[in-house]
Homo-oligomer: A and B are copies of this chain.
């Protein structure tokens, strides 16, 4: 059943050359005399020899694998990140070692530490505070963070969160809305930035942002939070949600509660997930180029691996996508 695979030594013996020659041949390290090359090619073919990547890695210290840890693959934002990262990795003959931490903070660190030993570099999305990320520097492996790291010298990619919500607030103000609420996700590191952006924009018009929390970055959480926001005191005319999933859930529940969308309440998300286009009403959101983020993160990492130097924090420009979930007041 389990016939042992031929080793480089088997090939060498069968072809009547040394193992070094075989090694050089499969690595295309040099040119060979015609007879040797032909013989080698034939024997490798005949034996069905495939070089053992583990043994090679042990010597070269390269695994041609990149570790990618994300918070939740079900979130279309992360799905896109993975997609982008995978594409670039494949182009450069790297493979992804994926870990979905399932929003479980406790697991993250051990998981990443174990992962670090099996890869050439890591792309990490984490909810841990910057201070708790110190240990990543001791991984001895290049890391690219999927969010801005303020204090740590770790290259990272992200978007300008403050600008994103500023844009949304501006858009809603221009539609005549005054009572604007934010339905956030306090656990996210970037939640504060998003609050700040919207708050600042409203402040310029002498208005205040009413802040709520959804406790999870999911559609279910958005549904659950809806009645609390819409049927509490001081009902908002417009709601900026932490992300598209929360917004989608919020809209569904709002409709179920009898509100007309967007007449009774305007709703926005952030991320521009593909399904915002197909919701009822279609979702006004901010595109953050998730897939490009994945691509860039991978490119930065490969650059680091190739001896490039830390390229710092890269940021994508957020772009407002206006659809049907926001409308003029009244």
What residues of chain A have their CB less than 8 Å away from a CB belonging to chain B?
Answer: 2-3, 5, 48, 50, 52-55, 57-58, 63, 65, 73-74, 76, 79-80, 82-83, 86-87, 90, 95-100, 102, 107, 111, 113-115, 117-118, 138, 140, 219, 248-249, 251-252, 274-275, 277-281
In angstroms, how far is the closest chain B Cβ from the Cβ of A256? 11
**How far is A9 from B58 in the complex, measured between Cα atoms in Å?**
16
Check A252/B281 contact, CB under 8 A, given A97-B97, A100-B83.
no
- Residue in B2, B90, B252 whose beta carbon sits within 8 Å of that of A277 in the complex: B252
Which B residues are in CB contact (< 8 Å) with A82? 73, 98, 100
Q: How many chain copies does the complex carry?
A: 2
In angstroms, how far is the closest chain B Cβ from the Cβ of A291? 9
Check A280/B280 contact, CB under 8 A, given A58-B54, A96-B97.
yes
Smallest Cβ-Cβ distance to A78: which chain B residue: B79
Check A118/B278 contact, CB under 8 A, given A98-B98, A99-B95.
no
Q: Which 5 A-B pairs have the closest CB atoms?
A: A280-B280, A275-B275, A98-B98, A248-B278, A86-B100
Check A97/B95 contact, CB under 8 A, given A251-B278, A275-B275.
yes
Smallest Cβ-Cβ distance to A2: which chain B residue: B140
Which B residues are in CB contact (< 8 Å) with A280? 278-281
Q: Determine which residue in A55, A82, A95, A138 has the highest number of CB atoms from chain B within 10 A of its CB, and name it.
A: A95
Q: Are A118 and B86 in contact (CB under 8 A)?
A: no
Given contact pairs A87-B102, A95-B114, A252-B278, a sample of 16 additional A-B residue pairs in the complex whose CB atoms are under 8 Å apart: A3-B140, A52-B58, A53-B117, A53-B118, A54-B57, A54-B118, A55-B58, A73-B82, A74-B80, A76-B79, A83-B100, A90-B107, A95-B115, A96-B99, A279-B279, A280-B280
What are 8 inter-chain pairs, A to B, with CB distance below 8 A? A52-B58, A53-B118, A76-B79, A83-B100, A86-B102, A95-B99, A98-B98, A275-B275
Which B residues are in CB contact (< 8 Å) with A58? 52, 54-55, 58
Q: Are B63 and A73 in contact (CB under 8 A)?
A: no
Q: Are B99 and A86 in contact (CB under 8 A)?
A: yes
In angstroms, how far is the closest chain B Cβ from the Cβ of A54? 5
In angstroms, how far is the closest chain B Cβ from the Cβ of A215? 18
**How far is A3 from B87 in the complex, measured between Cα atoms in Å?**
32
**How far is A63 from B80 in the complex, measured between Cα atoms in Å?**
28
**How far is A99 from B280 in the complex, measured between Cα atoms in Å?**
34
Which B residues are in CB contact (< 8 Å) with A5? 140
- Residue in B86, B111, B114, B248 whose beta carbon sits within 8 Å of that of A73 in the complex: B86
Which B residues are in CB contact (< 8 Å) with A274? 74, 219
In angstroms, how far is the closest chain B Cβ from the Cβ of A83? 5
In angstroms, how far is the closest chain B Cβ from the Cβ of A65? 7
